Amino acid sequence: MTTPQSPGHRDRTRYLYLAVIIAVIAGIVVGLVAPAAGVAMKPLGTAFVALIKMMISPIIFCTIVLGVGSVAQAAKVGKVGGLAIGYFLIMSTVALVIGLVVGNLLHPGAGLQLTDELRKAAEDQAAKGGESDTTTFLLGIIPTTFVSAFTEGQVLQTLLVALLTGFALQAMGERAVPMLNGLAHIQRLVFRVLAMIMWAAPVGAFGAMAAVTGAGGFGALQSLALLMGAFYLTCLLFVGLILGPMLWLFARINLVSLLRYLGREFLLILSTSSSESALPRLIAKMEHLGVSRAVAGITVPTGYSFNLDGTAIYLTMATLFVARATGAPLSVGEQVSLLVFMIIASKGAAGVTGAGLATLAGGLQSHRPELVDGVGLIVGIDRFMSEARALTNFAGNAVATVLIGNWTNDFDRERATEVLAGRAPFDEETFVDDHAPSDPPPPAAPEEPVPALSPR
């Protein structure tokens, strides 16, 4: 059989991501030299991210249905989902504590001045932050129709429909095998379309970086360098000192090797400022790494809505920054209560552009209205901070998928060793392992025979 990871295939994708790096540099140059032209390039980045988002729902649906439909016991799926949500909540709390410690040590935000324009921007964000609550979020998980989850692009809605479909196929026993086989072929088609879209990544990266640089330039970063530095430092501390040791302790996987394996996804997030652009690739790469299809298909989409590692750090640093910049520092008790509220309020907003800023403004509006004006100070650099937030959340999702796969005995460590050592490279052309069985295994649960209906 022809191995998909031939040198020709690898060379072609290397050219693609080399082009992405060149496009990022070109976008920065255009944004600095001709800011107006850079801002005008924004639709290029927006269009590329929209193309990626178009593929998220069908990829999640196929992956989860194939994974759940092939699992012998429904309880195992619930175990994976419960572990994932519990893990994400614990890690978000740890990230919150680290953010509080670093923020109180560095005291970002001193010496800044508010303008009327910044106050107006803060009011706009506060209005956005008050548009949703926990009840609205929970009800929003239920789609209007069975197919509207695909048309509206809601990750949790797609997750719900896929789980219901997977359980239904699981209950059908052997009669579900033809449908699972057909869905496996559809999954290959969907991943092939995604691979084609990825060749537009350099254009999208150029447009996104040119727009960001043209709108803010370096001037917006100078007065806020301490906040950005503290935020990036805290994210690095969390990834290096928390996620890294946990990954090695429980799964014996080196964090640096895992992050290197996901290097192209990090580049994609950094160049497009959207963590959703890498969601489909993360599912495919985790399965290639040796995590079972069910674990990868459930943990990754769940993480995009409940994994708040980077968001917790962002809200912590931004809250302390605003409080100090407006001359109204918060007590430790106020910090904890306010940030816990924000973490809960933001659980359904992961991956949504600008959602972190709206959550920050909405939380301050409800607890300390006098601090809302300070949000205007962050508007100019929120895009740069959202990149670090997305990168941290992405790293957390990857580590969580490996850990949960290991805890549920659905992780092939020998396979992971081969992949991370470069001896089993990921197929960038199809995103699917051609050497793996193309048909999913039939459900193991026997089905009760259905009595034939007598003719009328």
With a cut of 70, say whether residue 434 has pLDDT above it.
no
Are 425 and 5 within 8 A, CB to CB? yes
- Considering the domain boundaries, does residue 445 fall inside one? no
Distance of alpha carbon 450 from alpha carbon 305, whole angstroms = 40
Q: Is 133 exposed, middle or buried (0-12, 13-18, 19+ CB in 10 A)?
A: exposed
The total number of structural domains in the chain stands at 1
- Considering the domain boundaries, does residue 94 fall inside one? yes
Distance of alpha carbon 193 from alpha carbon 68, whole angstroms = 24
Distance of alpha carbon 287 from alpha carbon 308, whole angstroms = 23
- Considering the domain boundaries, does residue 192 fall inside one? yes
Are 72 and 287 within 8 A, CB to CB? no
Q: What is the chain's mean pLDDT, rounded?
A: 74
With a cut of 50, say whether residue 8 has pLDDT above it.
no
**What confidence tens digit (pLDDT) does each residue in 104-160 have?**
787 655 544 444 444 455 445 545 544 455 566 677 778 888 887 777 767 678 778
What pLDDT is recorded for position 439?
Answer: 40
What's the rounded mean pLDDT across residues 413-422? 90
Q: What is the CATH number of the domain that holds 392?
A: 1.10.3860.10
**What confidence tens digit (pLDDT) does each residue in 285-337 have?**
998 999 988 888 888 888 877 777 887 888 887 787 777 766 667 777 777 77
Which domain does 32 fall in, by range? 7-420
Give the residue from 382, 353, 37 showing the smallest Cα distance to 211: 37
What pLDDT is recorded for position 256?
Answer: 93
What's the rounded mean pLDDT across residues 78-83? 79
What's the rounded mean pLDDT across residues 87-116? 72
What pLDDT is recorded for position 105?
Answer: 80
Distance of alpha carbon 370 from alpha carbon 203, whole angstroms = 43
- Considering the domain boundaries, does residue 186 fall inside one? yes
Give the residue from 395, 331, 415, 321 showing the smallest Cα distance to 107: 321
With a cut of 80, say whether residue 360 has pLDDT above it.
no
Q: Kindly list the distances between the CA atom of residue 122 and the CA atoms of 117, 315, 327, 368, 384, in Å, as whole numbers in the listed order.
A: 9, 15, 17, 13, 18
What's the rounded mean pLDDT across residues 386-406? 88
Among the residue ranges 14-23, 246-255, 288-297, 436-445, the one predicted with the least confidence is 436-445
- Considering the domain boundaries, does residue 247 fall inside one? yes
What pLDDT is recorded for position 257?
Answer: 94
Q: What is the DSSP letter of 375?
A: G
- Structure tokens that stand for 398 in this block: 């990857």
With a cut of 80, say whether residue 3 has pLDDT above it.
no
- Considering the domain boundaries, does residue 90 fall inside one? yes
- Most confident stretch, 58-67, 71-80, 102-111, 368-377: 58-67
Q: How far is CA 293 from the centre of its chain?
A: 18
Distance of alpha carbon 259 from alpha carbon 251, whole angstroms = 15
- Considering the domain boundaries, does residue 284 fall inside one? yes
- Write the CB contacts of 290 (distance below 8 Å, at least 6 apart in sequence): 405, 411, 412, 413, 414, 415, 416, 419
Complete DSSP assignment for 288-342: HHTB-HHHHHHHHHHHHHH--HHHHHHHHHHHHHHHHHTT-PPPHHHHHHHHHHH
**Phi and psi, residue 121, nearest 5°:** -60, -40
Give the residue from 194, 362, 210 showing the smallest Cα distance to 285: 194
**What confidence tens digit (pLDDT) does each residue in 213-235 have?**
776 555 544 545 667 777 888 88
Query: From the CA atom positions of the chain, what is the Rg in Å?
Result: 23
- Considering the domain boundaries, does residue 236 fall inside one? yes
Q: Of 77 and 255, which is predicted with more confidence?
A: 255
